[in-house]
Amino acid sequence: MKICVFDDDQQILDLVKRLFEKAGHEVTVSTQPGLAVGIAVNNLPDAVITDRMMPDMDGLQLIGKLRARKELENTAIILMSADSRDGDRWRREARDAGADDFIGKPFDPKTITAHVAAIVELHRADN
């Protein structure tokens, strides 16, 4: 599976990249949301994971830009946020913006790869 991850926290990117690569996936990461659409279009990933709160462009705005690209219609998009106190609200906002799901931080490193794989499968089944 090919995955692109966008987060302004380099430690989160390093952790997610390591977890997914250990599970055998190809991972591209960036701390620059302004480059995210171009990176995603160039990689045509199975999944994009984006942080909710980033400088210059938040995750909801990024989701809108990704969903506007025809070549990314088969890409599952997951919003991730450390502000997960009201996870149901974030999940609704993520879905309203065009995301397939929401993952709160901190996430479980033992299950995140399986969770994202399940989201990708559901997205494929829906499209």
Distance, CA of 68 to CA of 80 (rounded, Å): 20
Q: Report d(CA 54, CA 61) in Å as an integer.
A: 10
Contact 20, 2 (CB under 8 A): no
pLDDT at 29 over 70: yes
Q: Yes or no: is domain 2-126 CATH 3.40.710.10?
A: no
Residue 84's pLDDT band, with cuts at 50, 70 and 90, is: low
Domain parsing of the chain, residue ranges: 2-126
pLDDT tens figures, 44-70: 999 999 999 888 888 999 999 999 999
Gap between the Cα atoms of 48 and 34, Å rounded = 14
* Residue 85 confidence (pLDDT) above 70: no
CB 94 within 8 A of CB 102: yes
Contact 23, 113 (CB under 8 A): yes
